[in-house]
């Protein structure tokens, strides 16, 4: 937790201090099921390891390119992880801004993308913003597009 625990990489007491920076590999969106980095990032998000999730998705964002559809998707996921962390730390205004920005990014993504029903995720995030008691939605992966 930022401000509560040592920085994972910069502080000698951090859990990743001295370890090499992860360097996820780019992959085509249709190969999402084979990307251990992507699947790991989703797991980190769903188990509320938002800082670590942010780091994984940021590596993927750099790997695929910032100005690509996939890069835009990863940046939205980064913003959701950061928003959840801000919400947890009590900074609700920053959390709301990050969630809104990520949701706007998702509007540029196909309805089914990299195993995610984007409209469902966006709706769950909208509910999360509107209802302070609604927990951060999980990111659910689906094998195929059933729409």
Which domains does the chain possess? 32-130 (1.10.3450.10)
If you average pLDDT over every residue of the chain, what do you get?
87
Expressed in angstroms, the distance from the first to the final Cα of the chain is 39
- The pLDDT of residue 39 is 97
Q: Residue 147: is its pLDDT beyond 60?
A: no
User: Predicted confidence band at 19 (pLDDT cuts at 50, 70, 90)?
Assistant: confident
* pLDDT (average), residues 44-49: 94
- With 60 as the cut, is the pLDDT of residue 38 above it? yes
Q: Where are the alpha helices (DSSP H) in the chain?
A: 36-46, 50-64, 69-88, 92-106, 118-130
Residue 64's contacts (CB-CB under 8 Å, 6 or more residues apart) are: 26, 27, 70, 71, 74
pTM of the complete model = 0.86
d(CA 93, CA 83): 9
Residue 112 phi, psi (nearest 5): -125, 120
d(CA 123, CA 39): 22
Tokens of residue 15, six digits: 């859990």
């Amino acid at each position: 937790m930022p401000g509560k625990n040592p920085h994972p990489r910069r502080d000698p007491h951090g859990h990743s201090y001295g370890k090499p920076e992860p360097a996820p590999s780019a992959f085509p969106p249709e190969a999402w099921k084979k990307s251990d980095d992507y699947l790991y990032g989703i797991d980190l998000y769903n188990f509320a390891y938002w800082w670590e999730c942010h780091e994984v998705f940021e590596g993927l964002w750099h790997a695929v390119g910032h100005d690509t559809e996939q890069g835009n998707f990863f940046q939205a996921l980064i913003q959701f992880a950061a928003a959840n962390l801000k919400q947890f730390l009590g900074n609700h205004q920053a959390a709301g801004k990050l969630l809104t920005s990520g949701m706007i990014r998702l509007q540029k993504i196909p309805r089914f993308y990299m195993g995610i029903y984007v409209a469902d995720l966006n709706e769950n995030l909208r509910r999360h913003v509107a209802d302070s008691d609604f927990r951060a939605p999980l990111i659910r992966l689906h094998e195929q597009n059933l729409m």
